[in-house]
Structure 1
Amino acid sequence: MSVLTIQSRVASGYVGNSAAVPCLQQFGLDCIAIDTVHLSNHPAHGSHRGRRVPAGDVADLLDGVAERGLLRTVDVVHSGYLGATDTGPVVLDTVDAVKRAAPMTPYCLDPVIGDNGTLYVEPDLVTFFRTKALPAADLVLPNLFEAECLLGRPLSGVDDAVAAARALQDKGPARVVVTGVETPSGLMTVGADGPEIWCVETPRVDVASSGAGDVFAALILGCLFGRESGFNTALEVACGFVFELLTTTKALGKPDIALVQSLHLVADFTSNFKAKSIL
């Protein structure tokens, strides 16, 4: 199987395609990786160099992939950090092209907007996600703040996250995963798969976690499409692996997620955190 993954890349650390591609490959998935930004490192480190890849260059790369007939081989399209609003239509044009050849090919949208109440993209990109990308998606994976931005209302707690998942389903995607929902004892991930709602709770790990969301998305895709796991199992594996990843990162005192030290766990990973059905 082949995944077309369109998101950022860093030279140092593991964010965007730098994180997603090695994870997806652990599931035996071939990757066609298109980068939307090239940075020296994640901006959370304080300083960075690099640039956004212009939308025209992203389109040119995708045209080159299409000219080789590779879009016809794509089994999943995934988009993450886009960098600028004008890259959005380029992505959706590609989704349309893939679906014209194979209408059942899923489009998985990670609407990278911000976190913890902080927006780190231009407001027009939020509008694009809300009005254009979300209706086109089959699976959407926002954190709680991103779900707030997509729905235009404040959210807090598990009940709000469940309601948000349902509201996002009403806008297009059959599957929704909302991450980063705070609970008294940790963090909850809420997943909606058609009429079913699943929750997985993990302890909080206080450590720098840039790239963990990209790993999480890749694990979800790897389980669903590489292993053909059930939705609840995919949630368990993704939540459990990210917990182990962050625990290892903290133990080693690394400034970036300890992906190299954790990647060997993916192949046979069994989560200690079980998904609970709440509907």
Structure 2
Amino acid sequence: MTNNTIEPHIISIQSTVSTGYVGNNSASFAIQLHGINCVAMPTILLSSHTDKPVYYGEAVPKELFDKLARGVLEINTAQLTQYVVSGYLKSKEIIDATAKFIKQLKAQHSITYIYDPVFGDTRTDGLYIPKEQADYSKERLLSLSDILTPNHFELEYLLGKRITNEQELITAVQADEVLSSKIIVLTTAEMKENVNHQVEVILINQGKLSHFYADNIPVEVVGTGDLFTGTLSAQLTKGRTIEEAIQTSMNFLSEVLRYVHLHGLKEMNAMAILQAQDVLAVKYK
């Protein structure tokens, strides 16, 4: 039995907030519910998520991020890690530092990098970070990724094309020099073919589309993408196939949102996430 089996880790490079469940606050929780150690690398420190009327904080200085990365590398954490995830990255300096860190991790060990763009959505009518940073994130991190988990808006942004149906989707991805070689998990897909208006995730892998569905819970909260990607990475670490990991992650998120809706909450909380853990209690390969 290897050390990776005894004590698996996931490295999660995301925002940290003092209160609330976005970024690493939600992703780390989901990862830990799987019995996996989360190595949480902060990219920005905020008092709360940015949908709040008032919030304070700032991006982590590059010098500090580099020191944290160096410490993680020098204690051989990479040897215990199969997956590294990146999420909200607002400053160009932290994007550079993240790219450097991922290259160093991959040089130490066979690691799969999951890139969650986290720079916009249709809910906010577009980008919620400056365009310069979004473009820089695409330039520096996309090529390093093995799996990416964009929402519908983010995939359109990466492709530079409007996508309304499955044929447009597969044609655009296959024509893209970089994206055509990636495993893409399109979250919150908005396709004309989804006539039942369920929550849909589409897997695009080697030119093939696979569809996954969950109940459409009538509630909208922040942090769901972070929670989904964290759960996905944990499911994969546990040995699930990408298809199994997607469906379980969707079911888990549905249970969280069902609790939020039932209790009239405005956002996720610890109990909403904790009570959904039964979905994760499956026999792993």
Q: Which residue of 1 aligns with 2:232?
A: 220
How many angstroms apart in 1 are the aligned matches of 2:208 and 2:21?
33
Counterpart check, 1:231 vs 2:256: no
TM value normalised by structure 2: 0.86
Counterpart check, 1:54 vs 2:61: yes
Give SS of 1:44's match: coil
Counterpart check, 1:121 vs 2:133: no
Q: Which residue of 1 aligns with 2:71?
A: 64
Asked if structure 2 preserves the Cα contact closer than 8 Å seen for 1:209 and 1:256, the reply is: yes
Q: Which residue of 1 aligns with 2:189?
A: 181
How many angstroms apart in 2 are the aligned matches of 1:10 and 1:172?
35
1:1-279 equivalence runs, <5 A: 1-102=8-109, 104-116=110-122, 117-166=125-174, 170-171=178-179, 174-182=182-190, 183-184=194-195, 185-226=197-238, 228-269=239-280
Deviations 1:179-213, CA, capped at 9 Å, x for gaps: 11233423321112334421112343232320110
Which stretch has the larger CA shift, 162-171 or 214-223?
162-171
Q: Shift of residue 106 of structure 1?
A: 0.5
Which stretch has the larger CA shift, 39-48 or 134-143?
39-48
Asked if structure 2 preserves the Cα contact closer than 8 Å seen for 1:78 and 1:110, the reply is: yes
Unpaired segments ≥5 residues, structure 1: 272-279
How many angstroms apart in 2 are the aligned matches of 1:26 and 1:167?
39
Amino acid at match of 2:149: L
Deviations 1:227-264, CA, capped at 9 Å, x for gaps: x1111111111111112211211111112214423324
Amino acid at match of 1:149: Y
Give SS of 1:145's match: helix
Q: Shift of residue 86 of structure 1?
A: 1.7
Asked if structure 2 preserves the Cα contact closer than 8 Å seen for 1:245 and 1:259, the reply is: no
Amino acid at match of 2:233: L
Q: Shift of residue 111 of structure 1?
A: 0.6
Deviations 1:14-39, CA, capped at 9 Å, x for gaps: 00100011101122211111111111
Distance 1:133 1:173, change over 3 A: farther
Which stretch has the larger CA shift, 34-43 or 59-68?
59-68
Asked if structure 1 preserves the Cα contact closer than 8 Å seen for 2:251 and 2:279, the reply is: no
TM value normalised by structure 1: 0.88
Distance 1:113 1:163, change over 3 A: farther
How many angstroms apart in 2 are the aligned matches of 1:205 and 1:3?
29
Distance 1:192 1:124, change over 3 A: same
Amino acid at match of 2:93: D
Amino acid at match of 1:86: E
Asked if structure 2 preserves the Cα contact closer than 8 Å seen for 1:76 and 1:108, the reply is: yes
Distance 1:269 1:69, change over 3 A: closer
Q: Report the number of matched residues.
A: 269
Deviations 1:36-74, CA, capped at 9 Å, x for gaps: 111121111222122221222211211222233334433
Amino acid at match of 1:217: T
Give SS of 2:132's match: helix
Amino acid at match of 1:145: F
